[in-house]
Amino acid sequence: MIASLIGEAQSVIRPQMPTLKSGTDLVALNVTALDPAGRAATGLGREDFTVFESDAEQPIALFSTVAEPVTWGLVLDRSGSMADMIGDLHQAALHAIAEGTAEDESFIVVFDQIPQLIREFESDRHRLATALLGLRAGGATALWDATAYALDHIRHGRHQRKVLVILTDGEDNRSGFAFREVIDFAEREEVLIYAVGMVEARGLLNRLRARPPWHRDLETLSSVTGARAHFPRNLEECRNAMKEIAREVAQQYTIGYYPRDLARDGQWRPLKVAVKPQPGRPAITARTRLGYYAPRPPE
């Protein structure tokens, strides 16, 4: 556990990395289906999907379109560069959880040079909003430490479906965790990570249409979990991004299978979900996490 990241502690305790318990455990996937315009493709059935593990097709054992309750985690930047809009942006982040079910629960982590849990698992959205009032911006940006802390904490949530939403406006400059370690952690968790990176609409990078390295890092972090990154340029675009995340999570498919490969070798197993083409229907793409690590043999 990494509770020492809360408060003034500077050391980082490494979280334990889980894998499947056995080769016969169900692999459950949250799948987003999108049409060519990037809109959610609804109304699909089990017969429309194909699941591949290590390029081998897997028989689908579970299929559901029911919107199950979600455990949400908001991970919000409060470093010095957020000073001008911290209150508005943090309240905008609440739109990601505002359209969920009454059974949803959420927690909030804010971070500067250290992460801080300011609201434990909570279903009352008014209390969640109140927890954000009066926060001040200052300090450095320990983005990867905050992400690792939130990934560890979300394990304690009640619901199987788990989603992290990370809001930041800059690159990490203080973490004890390296980016590669956080990616490894994310690959081993069944948690969707939606990263929202604020950009300055009139900044030099925008005019040159260049992507800074931290944008690519956020895209990588989201994509390995089956989610995606957003880069809004202002408060209104941030609100819209949060609402889009909420809609996407609500419209996902749950697909599960029992792996044909029962080897307990601890190896990475790449995953792919495809939507079968149909005459007269626009091509639909599917997005899910990129893979998982198989269980290791008993010691």
d(CA 195, CA 209): 20
Is residue 197 in a domain? yes
Is residue 107 in a domain? yes
Q: Are 150 and 186 a contacting pair, CB within 8 Å?
A: no
**Among the listed ranges 1-15, 63-77, 79-93, 246-260, which one has the minimum average pLDDT value?**
1-15
The helix/strand/coil state of 262 is coil
Residue 21 has pLDDT above 70, yes or no: no
Dump strand ranges (E) for 15-146.
Answer: 27-34, 49-53, 56-58, 60-64, 70-77, 105-111, 115-122
Q: Specify the pLDDT at position 3.
A: 46
What's the token pair of residue 180? 């590669």
* pLDDT tens-digit readout, 46-103: 999 999 999 999 999 999 999 899 999 999 999 999 999 999 999 999 999 988 889 9
* pLDDT tens-digit readout, 97-154: 988 889 999 999 999 999 999 999 999 999 999 999 999 999 999 999 999 999 999 9
d(CA 152, CA 96): 20
What's the token pair of residue 238? 């941030």
Phi, psi of 274 (to 5 degrees): -125, 150
- Please give the average per-residue pLDDT across 220-237, as a whole number: 96
pLDDT tier at 167, thresholds 50, 70, 90: very high
d(CA 268, CA 275): 23
Q: Specify the pLDDT at position 18.
A: 41
pLDDT tier at 211, thresholds 50, 70, 90: confident
Beta bridge partners of 255: 29, 63
Share of the chain above pLDDT 70, in %: 89
Is residue 195 in a domain? yes
Is residue 58 in a domain? no
Instruction: Say if residue 143 is exposed, middle or buried (CB neighbours under 10 Å; 0-12, 13-18, 19+).
Output: buried
Q: Specify the pLDDT at position 111.
A: 98
* pLDDT tens-digit readout, 22-50: 345 899 999 999 999 999 999 999 999 99
Is residue 54 in a domain? no
DSSP state string for 11-23: --PPPP----SST
* pLDDT tens-digit readout, 285-299: 999 999 999 988 877
d(CA 188, CA 268): 10
Average pLDDT score, the chain: 90
Count of the separate structural domains present in the chain: 1
Is residue 293 in a domain? no
Residue 276 has pLDDT above 90, yes or no: yes
Is residue 87 in a domain? yes
CATH number of the domain where residue 146 is located: 3.40.50.410
Is residue 196 in a domain? yes
d(CA 155, CA 153): 5
For residue 190, the enclosing domain spans: 67-250
